[in-house]
Structure 1
Amino acid sequence: MQKVILPSVSGFLAALFFRESALALLHAAGVIDPAGFSTVPFLPLGIPEFIANALWSAIFGILMAWLLRVSPEHRAPWIGSLVFGGIVLTAVGAFVIDPARGIWPNGNMLPRLAPNFIANAIWGWGALVFMRAFMAGSDAE
């Protein structure tokens, strides 16, 4: 259960509590136009965009836990989680998910990728926070 369920729930919750909140703060600071918790339909599924991001984040939570070997016995890879979230999620979003939606990478992508990198890095940190919190009770077993 710790290898699949807890990381996926952690990734899902981190998307809602950390990533979307970071996007909302970047919007409040005037860095980006769209605010967090976007209810724009996510094509091709038609569900709100923040729910689709949370579902993708659940999958990436499992991948992050496996790659960084997150467990109660190991030290928490805080820097690794920031790097994983920032680089992997941003790259997948820009080069896999956006082209599937008809948004192709072109020109200067830095203004679009930098805020996503920040929000996704915060997602990685938040997912690790949730994973460590959920796994803390398993030490006594």
Structure 2
Amino acid sequence: MQKFILPFVAGFLASLFFHDSTLALLHAAGLIDASGFSTAPFVPLGLPQFLANAIWSAVWAVLMAWLVRVSPARPAPWVPAFMFGGIVLTAASVFVVDPIRGIWPSGNMLPRLAVGFAANAMWGWGALVFMRAFMRDAHGEE
């Protein structure tokens, strides 16, 4: 359970509590136009976008937990989790997901990459926070 379900749930919660909250705070500060917790429908399923993003974030968290080797027996990999979220998720969004949707990288990408890095890095850190909070130690205790 700790290898799949726990990271899945942690990634889902991190999307809601860290990623979208970071976007909402940046919006409230007047730094970005888009705010977190978008209720616009996600096209194929009709789910609100924040729920669709949370589901995809949960899948990414399973990969992150495997790559950075999150384990209760090891020290928490805070910097790798922060960098995984900031770099891998932002790159996947800008260079894979957006072109599939017909949005091509062009012009000054720095603001888009900076906001993506900030929100996704906070997601990576938050996913690790939830994973470590829910994990059992080597003796089976919580």
TM-score, shorter chain, exceeding 0.5: yes
1:121 has 2:121 as partner:
yes
Q: Which amino acid aligns with 2:72?
A: P
User: How far apart, in 2, do the equivalents of 1:123 and 1:81 lie?
Assistant: 9
Q: Which residue in the other structure is 1:21 paired with?
A: 21
1:33-71 Cα deviation digits (max 9, x unpaired): 011101112234432111111011011100000000000
Partner in structure 2 of residue 83 of structure 1? 83
Supply the distance in 2 between the matched residues of 1:91 and 1:43 (Cα, whole angstroms).
Answer: 22
The residue correspondences of 1:46-125 to structure 2 (distance < 5 A) are 46-125=46-125
The one-letter code of the counterpart of 2:11 is: G
Residue 44 of structure 1 contacts residue 101 of structure 1 at CA under 8 Å; is this kept in 2? no
Contact residue 73 and residue 137 of structure 2 kept, 8 A? no
Aligned-pair distance for 1:25?
A: 0.3
The reply on whether 1:3 has 2:3 as its aligned counterpart is yes
In the alignment, structure 2 segments of 5+ residues that lack a partner are none
> 1 or 2, which has the higher helix percentage?
1
| C-alpha separation in 1, matches of 2:89 and 2:100 | 15
Alpha-carbon distance in structure 2 between the residues aligned to 1:112 and 1:43: 22
User: How far did 1:23 drift?
Assistant: 0.3
Structure 2 letter corresponding to 1:87: I
Where in structure 1 are there 5+ consecutive unaligned residues? none
* 1:50-94, Cα deviation, whole Å (9 max, x unpaired): 111101101110000000000000100001111000000001111
Q: What is the TM-score normalised by the length of structure 1?
A: 0.94
Number of aligned residue pairs: 140
Q: CA deviation at 1:138?
A: 4.3
